[in-house]
Structure 1
Amino acid sequence: MLSNSTTPFTEILFDSRVGTTRWPYGSGVWSKKEWVLPEIDNDDIISAFEGNSNLFWAERFGKKFLGMNDLWVKHCGISHTGSFKDLGMTVLVSQVNRLRKMNRPLVGVGCASTGDTSAALSAYCAAANIPSIPIANGAFVLSIDTDFDGCMKLIRQITAELPIYLANSLNSLRLEGQKTAAIEILQQFDWEVPDWVIIPGGNLGNIYAFYKGFKMCEELGLVDKIPRLVCAQAQNANPLFQYYRSGWKEFKPVKANTTFASAIQIGDPVSIDRAVFALKNSNGIVEEATEEELMDAMALADSTGMFICPHTGVALSALMKLRRNGIISSTDRTVVVSTAHGLKFTKAKIDYHSGGIKGMDCRFANPPVSVKADFGLVMDELKNFLSRR
């Protein structure tokens, strides 16, 4: 619903840039430059034309396992370095590139990371010839004997002492890029608002970024409401879930245990306050998933044509619980945000389907069938398989 005369122009402008080769507007982020970082010169932008990711109609998964006809998966992991972190990193590194051209005292960019953030940072910094301190692409790497929360504490201390720019989601520039995924969802639905958006949460900048994108569209009159947000956490790293279950009484960091959803293995998220704000103002919910639940959900999703990461498994597991409890109805339009590409987690998939995960039943495993190189034996196995279909 449009509330002022400027919104049709905004829709036409943003929609006209989708898929263009005009620099830098072919990027899903920079196609919305006026809402992201309007003052930056186009020549200073560092982009790999990230964003514009597929909004996949998960028809078979929805109907088969949830009794839903309107389930969608926003594949943000189909991006330059294989995760949604590219959306924020293009903005942050572009601004650093701009500042260095202005001779500001910045020698490099650093981050704490379990993988995705550092991959995005190193790639974009390499494109800009900016020194970076994460994991690849010519970056200077420090392997430290602590977890993500310990690394986060150290990088904040270091950037306070050295002219190194902090690249974690504590930096608001990252959120400016990530919020564009919410705007893309609205564009892909012809500016109609889904009922629910479910997002995996670790450091929690992403849940706030999605809220910010949806809220901005509401305030500018492009839509007349925002969706209800769900933050899905792994049970092994669930401080937000525990805070939510306490009725928001007291936040207590936790010691994050190992989870297959490694990018959200965070016990003391830096964006906790912003995440709580987003959830409270969207009538949101927090749910969790055990390791077995998230791996089962990933296997079920893959069996219906997807190829998702464990973090998306966390979000799908949360959706399955909310459906069973009747909170999300069969007719609700629901979007699950997939944050990374499944190819980053092939070992976890192989271990699951080979039954190689200790203490896990792997109920939906699809192990290979060993057979000798004999035509008759191969035909027997194929006939046996096809008879069960």
Structure 2
Amino acid sequence: MKKALFRCKTCGAEYDARKPVFRCSCGEPLDLVWDGSGIDHSQRCQAKRYSAFYPFEDEEWVPLGEGGTPLVEVKAFAAELGLADVRVKNESANPSWSFKDRGTAACVAHARALGYSRIGTVSTGNMAASVAAFGAAAGMETFILVKGDMAEEKMAPVAIYGVKLLRVQGAYDMLYSESLRLGEERGIYFMNSDVPFRAAGSRTISFEIAEDLGFSVPDWVVVPTSAGGNIRGIINGFEDLLKAGMTDRMPRFLCAQAAGCSPIATAFAAGAGKVTRFPSPHTIAHAIENPFPPSGNRTLSELRKYSSVAVSVSEEEIVKAQADMAHRGLFGQPGSCVPLACLRKAKAEGTVAEGQSAVLIMTGSGLKYTAAFAAHRLNWIDCSLEELGEKLK
């Protein structure tokens, strides 16, 4: 691993990235500082295509083909909203069916560079499967800590990778800090939701969006937000492109949350500089249900820096968005469909203007949470072979 830094944008503190530092001493998240840039157009996987943006040696990466996901133009949504262009970044095309693979790949490279043989994470689902997959590929002992109420249907797809899977009772946000403490004590690299290289891995989403648009920048990038690591990484990615002279401006960002768990949107609407714990969170969008996001404060400051916004939407709006996206061939888990619902609300309220462009980040596959089917009125027809001809009229 080459020399690089982690920097806290809140207090300005800097740390050597070649050491296991996961958070600033002030309590806020850290960002990768690295001057490298460049694109290998012969490669598709992020570990190869964008390796110049990272301080790792080639042998430190363990790629599984992450990245290179489709940016799908949806003319129907553009026409509905009166926008020039609406596209969906389909992150379900990653190896474990979610955007988490980007950050996991970068974290595993960092762990290997630092000499770790044991890795882990705290997750509600997507990150658990991602870390399990990459841990298996890297031959590393892997510990996955999940919420005490995680459904068995979500446990088995993680356990199949041969990891040590622990369902832990207690406050989920407290599990985050406790895992980092125990990881330091026991030599386990916990690549949680917003550690530096997890956020840094999400930068490649921005790189791919810009590339696919001919290095033009959309007016809006709409990101479903839980801990805040993904939206931080996407913002940093567009900053990298601007710094490298590959683009000429920054987009605005829409932090998309469910009303049933919206600590960032609530703080933003109140004009607050810090998030507070969201009381009694409950939403069908389980993947973004984090009542006290560790990158919440940073997300607020970044949104204001770039004249951006945070929006929350109801359960009904989320379910409708999921159905509407599926009817256009894009089946995302409920949290992945919150961006469409939030874009609709922002357009109706005049935040997003007529004729602008937007990219929606669809973070994970709808197959990740099949319990959501119960919220839809789905139907089918049973018939006999003899009746088939009649039914096909």
Determine which of 208, 213, 229 is the counterpart of 1:189: 213
Contact 1:29 1:180 in 2 (8 A): no
Contact 2:273 2:297 in 1 (8 A): no
The answer to whether structure 1 residue 352 and structure 2 residue 352 are counterparts is no
Letter in 2 for 1:194: P
Contact 1:36 1:177 in 2 (8 A): no
Residue of structure 2 equivalent to 1:358:
none
Letter in 2 for 1:30: K
Contact 2:275 2:297 in 1 (8 A): no
- SS of corresponding position for 1:77: helix
Question: Within 1, Cα distance between the matches of 2:106 and 2:189?
Answer: 13
Offset at residue 346 of structure 1 (A):
2.9
- SS of corresponding position for 1:112: strand
- SS of corresponding position for 1:326: coil
Residue of structure 2 equivalent to 1:42:
58
Residue of structure 2 equivalent to 1:117:
127
Determine which of 234, 240, 247 is the counterpart of 2:271: 247
Q: Which has the higher strand share?
A: 2
Determine which of 373, 376, 384 is the counterpart of 2:384: 373
Offset at residue 267 of structure 1 (A):
0.6
Contact 1:372 1:378 in 2 (8 A): no
Q: Which has the higher helix share?
A: 1
1:284-343 residue CA offsets vs partner (Å, 9 max, x unmatched): 100012222111110011112222221122111100101111221331110000100122
1:78-126 residue CA offsets vs partner (Å, 9 max, x unmatched): 10101100001111111212222xxxxx451121100111111111111
Structure 1 residues without counterparts, runs of 5 or longer: 1-9, 21-25, 101-105, 354-364, 384-389
Contact 2:88 2:360 in 1 (8 A): yes
Shift in CA distance, 250/124, structure 1 to aligned 2, threshold 3 Å: closer
Shift in CA distance, 144/376, structure 1 to aligned 2, threshold 3 Å: closer
Offset at residue 148 of structure 1 (A):
2.7
Offset at residue 41 of structure 1 (A):
2.3
Residue of structure 2 equivalent to 1:51:
67
Equivalent positions of 1:1-389 (< 5 A) are 14=39, 16-17=41-42, 20=43, 26-37=44-55, 40-63=56-79, 65-100=80-115, 106-134=116-144, 135-136=158-159, 137-255=161-279, 257-349=281-373, 351-353=374-376, 365-369=377-381, 371-373=382-384, 375=386, 379=390, 382-383=392-393
Contact 1:200 1:231 in 2 (8 A): yes
Share of identical aligned residues, percent?
A: 27
Contact 2:333 2:369 in 1 (8 A): yes
Contact 1:97 1:130 in 2 (8 A): no
TM-score normalized by the length of structure 1: 0.83
Letter in 2 for 1:56: V
Contact 1:170 1:205 in 2 (8 A): yes
Contact 2:194 2:228 in 1 (8 A): no
TM-score normalized by the length of structure 2: 0.82
Question: Within 2, Cα distance between the matches of 1:67 and 1:367?
Answer: 32
- SS of corresponding position for 2:164: coil
Letter in 2 for 1:352: A
Question: Within 2, Cα distance between the matches of 1:342 and 1:250?
Answer: 32
Question: Within 2, Cα distance between the matches of 1:197 and 1:157?
Answer: 34
Say what the alpha-carbon RMSD is for the aligned residues: 2.1
- SS of corresponding position for 1:142: strand
Aligned residues: 344
Deviates more, 1:184-193 or 1:89-98: 89-98
Shift in CA distance, 305/68, structure 1 to aligned 2, threshold 3 Å: farther
Contact 1:256 1:266 in 2 (8 A): no
Structure 2 residues without counterparts, runs of 5 or longer: 1-35, 145-157
Contact 1:199 1:232 in 2 (8 A): yes
Residue of structure 2 equivalent to 1:359:
none
